[in-house]
């Protein structure tokens, strides 16, 4: 397909930005991609991709490069704090006809997306101002350079500078959890996605291939501790299952607080927000990357279908994406509320109906984009 004359800037070279750049290139556009951070500044982390993420990767023609990476996850196992079974979700059955679930190092997915986006990213480029013009957007960078674009796409995360500069919303709000992430190399063998649920806290381990585990833990709160390793041992030292061996093998732990972004609109003039910049939620349903990949597919389709009418494309894009991102936000809040239910009440319910309850959280996402 011949190149489109539309001048497009994608701000952010994470999963959302690179996926958008890939989708736009497939649709015949040639976007510029900028990233304020220097190359190589990605924290070591694992990533779990549900079946709808696999479907979006197919639409981006990137399922082939991803297929050898990480490990396919067939089942989610929920245990109580002692390690006794609560319920299971058969992921192959849940996502049948949509896509397989996969866990892998985040950097490996980033590498595939970077290559798929064409590999041309202007690093160290930070915007200073955005000027909303009648039919374009003027962008000035901190180094003094200035360019005019037909469309600016903010894919720069929950603390998006694009969102602030375009007056689309303020900072994200706390979602109420402190999260801990680590990649564990010398850990006990764990075959499937395995979560242990305690009182207002949980501990998750997921195999990501090569004998490595992605470790994710959370607790209710809004202030991250100074010593996350010590806090993990304090919180989860009495847990059963694989947790004691994982705690023993932990080295570097990344800690953060969860954030939500909920906006009345995602675009203003010819500036649009995608991914976490538009609709970040707590990572409870593991839908952050999946929603970003879906955003990319739908945005490219909307721009191509609009035949150069950017405003019509942005309106069509938002009308298609709002129901799915709202579903993810609401189901995330539903699942997070189970943390506040005492285990003596919650655990018998999960043993009886937990698999159906947790599977239902993805029902809308099984449908087409």
Q: In what order do the strands lie in the sheet with 101-105?
A: 46-49, 101-105, 71-73
Residue 278 lies in a domain: yes
Alpha helices, H only, the chain: 15-26, 51-59, 63-66, 91-94, 106-116, 161-165, 228-236, 243-249, 276-279, 288-306, 310-337, 343-360
Number of folded domains in the chain?
A: 1
CA dihedral 240, 245, 246, 250 (to 10 degrees): 140
* Rounded-to-integer distance, Cα 208 and Cα 69, Å: 8
pLDDT of residue 3: 63
Residue 308 lies in a domain: yes
pLDDT of residue 1: 41
pLDDT of residue 41: 62
Look at phi and psi of residue 122 and say left if phi exceeds 0, alpha if psi is from -120 to 50, else beta.
beta
Residue 213 lies in a domain: no
Residue 117 lies in a domain: yes
Residue 344 lies in a domain: no
* Rounded-to-integer distance, Cα 205 and Cα 181, Å: 10
The 10 Å Cβ neighbour count of residue 323 is 11
Task: Evaluate whether 228 touches 255 at the Cβ level (below 8 Å).
Answer: yes
* Rounded-to-integer distance, Cα 246 and Cα 184, Å: 7
- Check which CATH number belongs to the domain holding 37 and give it: 3.50.50.60
pLDDT of residue 12: 98
Residue 132 lies in a domain: yes
Domain interval for residue 330: 8-73+99-173+260-339
What's this model's pTM, rounded to 2 decimal places?
Answer: 0.96
pLDDT of residue 43: 65
Per-residue tens of pLDDT for the chain, all 369 residues = 456 789 999 999 999 999 999 999 999 999 999 999 988 766 679 999 999 999 999 999 999 999 999 999 999 999 999 999 999 999 999 999 999 999 999 999 999 999 999 988 999 999 999 999 999 999 999 999 999 999 999 999 999 999 999 999 999 999 999 999 999 998 789 999 999 999 999 999 999 999 999 999 999 999 999 999 999 999 999 999 999 999 999 989 999 999 999 999 999 999 999 999 999 999 999 999 999 999 999 999 999 999 889 999 999 999 999 999 999 999 999 999 888 899 999 999 999 999 999 999 999 999 999
What are the beta bridge partners of residue 256? Answer: 179
Residue 309 lies in a domain: yes
pLDDT of residue 4: 76
* Rounded-to-integer distance, Cα 261 and Cα 264, Å: 10
Residue 218 lies in a domain: no
């Amino acid at each position: 397909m011949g190149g489109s004359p539309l001048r497009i800037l994608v701000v952010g070279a994470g999963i959302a930005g690179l996926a958008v750049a890939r989708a736009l290139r497939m649709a015949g556009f040639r976007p510029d991609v900028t990233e304020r951070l220097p190359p190589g500044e990605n924290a070591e982390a694992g990533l779990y991709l549900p079946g709808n993420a696999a479907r979006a990767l197919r639409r981006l023609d990137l399922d082939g490069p991803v297929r050898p990476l990480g490990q396919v996850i067939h089942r989610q196992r929920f245990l109580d704090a002692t390690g006794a079974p609560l319920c299971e979700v058969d992921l192959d059955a849940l996502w049948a006809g949509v896509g397989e679930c996969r866990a892998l190092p985040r950097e490996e997915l980033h590498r595939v997306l970077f290559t798929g986006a064409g590999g041309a990213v202007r690093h160290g480029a930070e915007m200073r101002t955005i000027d909303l013009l009648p039919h374009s957007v003027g962008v000035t960078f901190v180094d003094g350079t200035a360019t005019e674009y037909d469309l600016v796409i903010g894919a720069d995360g929950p603390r998006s500078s694009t969102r602030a500069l375009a007056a689309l919303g303020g900072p994200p709000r706390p979602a109420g959890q402190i999260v801990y992430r680590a990649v564990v190399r010398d850990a006990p063998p764990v075959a499937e996605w395995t979560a242990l649920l305690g009182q207002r806290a949980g501990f998750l381990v997921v195999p990501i291939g090569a004998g490595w585990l992605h470790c994710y833990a959370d607790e209710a709160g809004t202030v991250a501790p100074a010593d996350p390793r010590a806090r993990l041992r304090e919180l989860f030292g009495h847990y059963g299952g694989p947790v004691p061996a994982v705690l023993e093998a932990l080295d570097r732990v990344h800690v953060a607080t969860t954030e939500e972004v909920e906006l009345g609109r995602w675009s203003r003039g010819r500036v649009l927000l995608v991914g976490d910049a538009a609709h970040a939620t707590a990572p409870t349903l593991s839908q952050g990357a999946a929603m970003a990949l879906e955003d990319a597919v739908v945005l490219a389709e909307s721009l191509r279908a609009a035949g150069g009418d950017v405003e019509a494309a942005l309106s069509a894009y938002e009308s298609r994406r709002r129901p799915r991102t709202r579903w993810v936000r609401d189901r995330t809040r539903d699942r997070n509320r189970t943390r506040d239910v005492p285990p003596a009440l919650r655990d018998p319910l999960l043993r009886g109906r937990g698999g159906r309850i947790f599977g239902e959280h993805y029902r809308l996402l099984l449908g087409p984009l």
